[in-house]
Structure 1
Amino acid sequence: MANWQCISNCGACCYLEPSDRPDLEEYLIPQDLQTYLSMVGSDGWCIYFDRLKRQCSIYEQRPRFCRVQADTFFEMFGVEPEELNDFAIACCEEQIESIYGDRSLELLRFEQAINQQGSLD
């Protein structure tokens, strides 16, 4: 069984273009929506994402909507804790494919990481 995990040097989730996420108002409270929109750069990428290093420059202080946590995903999407793993994997696969392509190194690395982690349990 695969277990979700974030992989380094990806950052696909840091592409925040609001037109790609027309339902933001449905799952973000007004304050979080305002924060989200303030983080979107002119190119659609998060202003805190270092594209050269491919890492978040505010990782430890990133907003709660940037965290894959059971309580956050339940509040935002109604995802039950026991469904979080599969939901997060599907979200990441979709976003990575959308940003980097379905044959990208990022997607391959993600799939290897989640499958390897699952085989260790």
Structure 2
Amino acid sequence: MALGILPDDSKIDPSVSCTACAAVCCRLTVVIAASDRVPEHLIAHGPNGVDTMAHGSDGWCLALDHARQRCGIYATRPSVCRKFAMGGGYCRFERAKFANSGLSLRVV
């Protein structure tokens, strides 16, 4: 995706469902807002003072429940995650990128 060109999140694909997804959004960098209430052990404190969701060495968010492919802190997930439009342009872009990456799901 070219810098400055964002997918159109106003066009939602109703066929996209989190229940049939590889939790691809759980590989994205998620900046934590000051108002978010994320458990401390799931936060990566950056050297520049920006806190993000921590990822494991496999690239997946530490809050991901791999057995269910769902967020393990859904009720207290960061505001960025709450705003991520399921089936929106960015979601579809990331799903397509993952499908073409050759990466596989982490199996526990």
TM-score by length of 2: 0.51
Report the residue type matching 1:52 in the other structure.
Answer: A
Show structure 1 runs of 5+ residues with no match: 19-23, 70-83, 103-121
Query: Matched residues, percent identical?
Result: 28
CA positional deviation for 1:40: 1.6
Partner of 2:51: 35
Equivalent residue for 1:44, pick from 55, 59, 71:
59
1:53 corresponds in structure 2 to 68
| CA distance 1:2–1:95, change in 2 (3 Å) | closer
The number of residues matched between the two structures is 76
Distance 2:32 2:12 in 1: 31
Measure how far apart 1:42 and its partner are. Answer: 1.4
SS in 2 for 1:67: helix
Name the structure with the higher helix share. 1
CA-based RMSD of the aligned residues comes to 3.5
Q: Can you list the C-alpha shifts for 1:23-82, whole angstroms capped at 9, x where unaligned?
A: x8xxx577587432x42221111001122311111011101111127xxxxxxxxxxxxx
With the length of structure 1 as denominator, give the TM-score of the two structures: 0.46
Contact map agreement 2:63 2:73 (CA 8 A) in 1: yes
